[in-house]
Chain A
């Protein structure tokens, strides 16, 4: 199903539209993401950022246009959707860890049930990734016993256990106490430096400046402006972008 060798595009969205009822949330979205590219998406709330990235792993269904992810086009075909979800990891604002499973079990679940990995191997992979996000010592605790920052790092490790080709982040630091934001951002920066293809909805402009290859600004369901971070922050073209940046940067 994948023909990735001839194609270095990780994600290709062409003229994507989506409505919630009669509300037009995504309007003619065109977006190409290269393998290994790091993209930050920002914009006011309700602008469709989350919906955009949730369309990429089919948590939301797009109604018009086409989305191709690592060589597989998202159609109504459940097999295609499953194939895409296996290759795309996602980190949520509310962590969404499974509270009835230990941290280790959270990480082992998908490799064992989706990739049919033997338990021992899954445990090894899980421990390696928990070490990578620097919380191997919490492996046997339950999510409810961890701080928000630790939970979000577990969520990152859990996604990485599936060895995804693309990672989606949906406001990963917005539900965290200020002192915990850094530990999560550090894990994300480390991941970005390792060459992961990343799409990240965030308001952490420092993160955008440090790691993003491209920053995308959305408003009212449209991509208003996209540029390299340097240009985007220092020389925004669109008035709407200028206003948004002045609001979040001037404190």
Chain B
């Protein structure tokens, strides 16, 4: 039998052994060299970045923590050079509950807790007791309505005008997020429908909503809508705002999902039809799951946009997390502490948005089935 010589090794044909790679790619030093100091531009960018971090981070840490006053009753109590967190520590309940009646706040706390419980089976499908939890998720909107607004079953009614702070932000954000996805899917399907009437309505709706700034829509909801309604008929400002925020996000969602639908090859629905699945089954079991999976980055992008857009409600007089902060800045006791308020609000928003972003990456990895076509 012939023998092949490769370098100093000899082997028989087809028996060439697999050798370890010449450089240990697992080595952290290798990673540093490859990713941070690979070339001259690479190295200079790394050094510039390090310099900027050195410039900003220590100063910020000094201001926010080391030189800061945490507990004071007004701005005159802040004697050091750093941040004056007294506004936040003394008014934290307003930041969370808004102007919700003090003796009823346990309802909001309970609602937060139940919300976490309701979200868990949707976010993690391997959670224990998933089925009973899902039943809770389905009932949660009613429970939340009862807890937050009340007025029946032994709970006192609370006016929605007393909602505020983080709680208002969450009510708007989460209702908007949960409703905009299904509405967006329906609009996307409608826009691709073969029925001309449905298609025209969907196109008109999407293009109208996308063509107008959210602020305009909110103004319309709060100022113009009452003009069209018969005198004496009012409906809740919060409800109007929720509807507008949801519709606004739905229009963007529809386009994101339409992109996903267009990326699915026609062969998929043909195969489903050839197997005897109805159009509806083919859509629900084959096309939509794949289209939604492709659209995850865009969907989460829209979610994050919606969540941050909730701060715009301040212009029609609702005080969300940011609104509560700015309202307190007008208080003579705390004049001039805008940096503290904005940093605090930014951190809270960042936590929510960054979590959504990380979750979307987790979901993409989980749904990855090795298919690229």
- The chain A residues found within 8 Å of chain B, CB to CB, are 57, 59, 82, 85-86, 88-90, 92, 94, 96-100, 109-110, 113-114, 142-145, 155, 158-159, 162
Contacts and interface: CB of A to CB of B under 8 A. Distances in A.
B270 A109 contact: no
B275 A100 contact: no
Given A59-B273, A59-B274, A110-B277, A92 B267 contact: yes
Interface of B: 265, 267-268, 270-278, 281, 285-286, 289-290, 293, 367, 369-373
Contacts of A162: 275-276
Given A89-B274, A92-B274, 12 more contacts: A82-B276, A94-B267, A98-B272, A99-B373, A100-B290, A100-B369, A113-B281, A114-B275, A114-B276, A114-B281, A158-B275, A159-B274
A170 to B, nearest CB: 10
Chain A at the B interface: mostly helix, strand, loop or mixed? mixed
Contacts of A144: 369-372
B285 A96 contact: no
Nearest to A83: B276
Chain B at the A interface: mostly helix, strand, loop or mixed? helix
Contacts of A92: 267, 270-271, 274
Query: Quick one: which of B274, B277, B369, B371 has the most chain A CB within 10 A?
Result: B274
A89 B190 CA distance: 30
Contacts of B277: 109-110, 113-114
B276 A98 contact: no
A110 B275 CA distance: 6
Contacts of B370: 142, 144-145
A90 B276 CA distance: 10
Given A96-B268, A100-B290, A85 B274 contact: yes
Contacts of B273: 57, 59, 85
A142 B290 CA distance: 14
A94 to B, nearest CB: 5
Contacts of A155: 271
A144 B370 CA distance: 5
Contacts, number: 74
Contacts of A99: 290, 369, 371, 373
Nearest to A93: B267
21 contacts: A88-B274, A92-B270, A92-B271, A96-B265, A96-B267, A96-B268, A96-B271, A97-B271, A99-B290, A100-B290, A100-B293, A100-B369, A100-B371, A109-B285, A110-B276, A114-B275, A142-B370, A143-B371, A144-B370, A155-B271, A158-B275
A108 B281 CA distance: 14
Nearest to B292: A100
B271 A113 contact: no
Contacts of A59: 270, 273-274
Contacts of B367: 100
A100 B370 CA distance: 9
B270 A96 contact: yes
Contacts of A90: 271, 274
Given A92-B270, A96-B270, A100-B293, A142 B371 contact: yes
Contacts of A88: 274
A66 B275 CA distance: 22
A159 B273 CA distance: 12
A96 B286 CA distance: 11
Contacts of B275: 85, 89, 109-110, 114, 158-159, 162
Nearest to A102: B369
A96 B281 CA distance: 16
A159 to B, nearest CB: 7
Contact of B286 (A94, A98, A114): A98
A143 B371 CA distance: 7
B276 A86 contact: yes
A100 B276 contact: no
A123 to B, nearest CB: 17
A113 B277 CA distance: 7
A145 B372 CA distance: 10
Contacts of B293: 100
Contacts of A110: 275-277
Nearest to A59: B270
Nearest to B286: A98
Nearest to A155: B271
